[in-house]
Amino acid sequence: LMVTSTRPAEGKSTSAFAIAQCLARLQRRTLLIDGDMRSPSVHVGLGIDNEKGLSNLLSGSATLAAVTRETGIDRLTVISAGPPPPNAAELLSSDRIENVIEEALRHYDNVVVDAPPVMGIADAPLIASKVAGTIFVVESRGVRARLGKVAIGRLQNSQAHLLGAILTKFDQKRAHFSYGYDYGYGYGEQKAG
């Protein structure tokens, strides 16, 4: 499962962590992978180092066992992004990411990839083509509809299987919607006055 968004700071990393944590609570052995090697954040949120991770695994300089870290949450393990590679798209465009996911699924019930945003770089569509499903994160009032549609189009062009969307940062106090009901009835004729 991949989690992505149109642009940075929409809440995709928080959403990916929440999904992984929920799966772990359902008694599923879950691996959370920070797939955003250009701007990693999972290690910061968990308070772990980022000395080794996905970039090492994809480059062949480390094994899955060497880069996985316990989180302190029962049944939830993490792989940080690792040191920034010279060309993340090159590492992701080969079969390496698919091989990593296949190997991980031999040890875990679920793998959740916190992917980079879709716009601006090719990384998210490359990952999307290798996973079973994609969740698209949308910040409330944060992204123009047109740009969101372009991002979804890029995912669809990569053969991504879009499972749904998560709306983040929704402020109910700023929401402008209401339910209106208009009932009317009358008897006889009214005189113009």
For the stretch 91-120, pLDDT in tens is 888 788 999 999 999 999 999 999 999 998
3-class SS of residue 180: coil
3-state secondary structure 73-131: CCCEEEECCCCCCCCHHHHHHCCHHHHHHHHHHHHCCEEEEECCCCCCCCHHHHHHCCC
For the stretch 66-91, pLDDT in tens is 999 999 999 999 999 999 998 888 88
Continuous segment of H or E residues that includes residue 43: helix 42-46
Look over the chain and give the mean of its residue pLDDT values, rounded to a whole number: 89
Residue 26 pLDDT grade (very low, low, confident, very high; cuts 50, 70, 90): very high
Instruction: Identify the DSSP state of 172.
Output: G
Residue 190 is predicted with a pLDDT of 52
For the stretch 116-154, pLDDT in tens is 999 988 899 999 999 999 999 999 888 888 999 999 999
Rounded to 5 degrees, φ, ψ at 114 are -85, 100
Instruction: Say if pTM beats, i.e. exceeds, 0.85.
Output: yes
Residue 189 is predicted with a pLDDT of 53
Rounded to 5 degrees, φ, ψ at 124 are -60, -45
- Whether the predicted pLDDT of 175 surpasses 90: no
